[in-house]
Structures are given as structure tokens and as C-alpha cells.
Amino acid sequence: MMKIAPSILSADFSKLGEDIREVEAGGADYIHVDVMDGHFVPNITLGPPIVKAIRPITGLPLDVHLMISEPAKYVDAFADAGADYITVHVEADPHIHRTIQLIKNRGVKAGVVLNPGTASELFKPLIADIDMVLLMTVNPGFGGQAFIPSVVTKIKEIRKWADELNPALEIEVDGGINPETIAVCAEAGADVFVAGSAIYNQSDRKKAIEDLKAAASV
Ligand code: DX5
Ligand code: ZN
């Protein structure tokens, strides 16, 4: 089952609640929350208080993407705030296996994120232990960047491993997803699609979500 996860990074933070309700009514499956610390990535966004504030306004799972150094330190805070998924970058954590256990022990679904320049082999030992892998299709830090096509090879590779080792694994892609690039990623085996600007920069968000879904299912 293919899923769309609008990224609130491209929403209007002065009316965040409204912008979340709109995509929920428009057929979104998850709400993607981009957490940046100005250290692991060159941008600062939001933290646990915002996650806590949006938790009661949507019934959709909150997919919290941590682009922060030392993510293990903040797992409890994001779990307490109401995250349903917490995804951590392999590049940010030398003890990623331990951090995954920490997330799972909190009853939260755990995911591992790979930057475009990181080899998929790094994640292979973790594949049976996690709920999601998130492949960055841009270098993390900002919305509205161009899709990096070389990541498609990694999607195919990971889909193959997942089919053998963890068929329930969700393969999510994030960055530069639009009706053209979503089709390529779906074909390669991704099943959860983050989209920020392709949804929030459109006046009709419901139509934007429908267009993405239609493009992914051909
Ligand atoms: C990038 C973030 C993305 C971003 C996607 O660092 O992780 O989730 O919001 O935005 P678009 O879809 O505009 O590339
Ligand atoms: Zn993201």
C-alpha cells in the first residue's frame, strides 16, 4: 500500500494546524516532521514542543525525521511528545543499533535514514530490526531541492533485501518528490513518499496529493 507523507517544513507555520488538517482531509497518510539542529544539517527547524502541539490535531501517524547530532539523547522527548515513527540518520549515530532499540522500547516505530552519499550496505545489518528505511533523495536541510536520480539504484537494492529479510519494511523516499520522480521511485520499490513543496506550494493540496498518488500507481 502506497502512502503519502506531506512534509510540514513547507507549510505555513503561522497556521500549522490548519495546514495539517487540510492535507489530512486531502488524503495524506502520514505527517512528516523535519527536525533540524543547525549542526548535523545547515538549518534549524523545530523540536518536541511542536510535535506535542500538533499531536492532538491529527489522527494521522507522525513520522518524525531527526536530522540532528546525537539523536539517542532526544528519543524520549520525541516519544513523549507523541511521535509514531522516529527515524535517525546512520551518519549521525555511531551506535545506531542501540538507538533503534531505544526507540522500539518506547513503543515507537523505528527507522534508519541514509543520505544520498551513504552506501546502502551500512543499513543491511539493521534491516530485520527496523520498521522503516528512509532514503534521502536530496541532501537534507531544505525543502524544494532537486531529486538526485542516483538514489534509485539504492531503492531497488533495498527492496530486494527487504523482500528476503523483512517484507513488512516500509521504504520511504524524501526530497524532490513530484509526479515525475514519484513514478520512478514507486517503480523501483519505494512505498512511502514524503512531499513538501509538491503539496504545500500548490493552492489545491487535495489535488496535489491525488496527482502524486495517481503518478505513483502506474
Ligand atoms: C529535507 C527534508 C524533507 C523536505 C522535503 O531535508 O528532510 O522532508 O521537507 O521537501 P521537498 O519535498 O520540497 O523536497
Ligand atoms: Zn524529511
Q: How confident is the model at residue 21 (pLDDT cuts 50, 70, 90)?
A: very high
Q: How many Cα atoms sit within 13 Å of 37 on the Cβ side?
A: 15
Identity of residue 52: K
Using CB distances shorter than 6 Å, the residues near ligand 1 are 7, 9-10, 32, 34, 65, 138, 140-145, 174-177, 194-198
- Which of 19, 34, 37, 191 does the annotation list as catalytic? 34
Class of domain 3-216: alpha beta
Task: Determine the length of the chain.
Answer: 218
The arithmetic mean of pLDDT across residues 151-180, rounded, is 98
Tens digits of residue pLDDT in 32-50: 999 999 999 999 999 999 9
Which listed ligand is nearest to 176 at the C-alpha?
1
What does pLDDT average to over the chain?
98
Tell me, what's the pLDDT at 86? 99
Question: 3-state SS of 29-56?
Answer: CCEEEEEEECCCCCCECCCHHHHHHHHH
Q: Per residue in 79-120, pLDDT tens? A: 999 999 999 999 999 999 999 999 999 999 999 999 999 999
pLDDT tier for residue 164 given thresholds of 50, 70 and 90: very high
Distance between CA 133 and CA 154 in Å, rounded?
A: 11
Binding positions are: 7, 32, 34, 65, 141-144, 174-176, 196-197
Q: Has residue 56 got a pLDDT over 80?
A: yes
Looking at residue 144, its pLDDT comes to 98
Q: What is the pLDDT of residues 189-198, one digit of tens each?
A: 999 999 999 9
pLDDT(66) > 90: yes
Determine the Cα–Cα distance for residues 181 and 30; give it in Å rounded to an integer.
19
pLDDT number for residue 1: 85
pLDDT > 90 in the chain, percent: 99
The answer, yes or no, to whether residue 218 has pLDDT greater than 80, is no
Q: Does the active-site annotation cover 163?
A: no
What is this model's ipTM? 0.99
pTM confidence score: 0.98
pLDDT at 197: 98
Rounded to an integer, what distance in angstroms lies between the CA atom of residue 142 and that of residue 10? 9
Give the rounded distance of the alpha carbon of 30 from its chain centre. 9
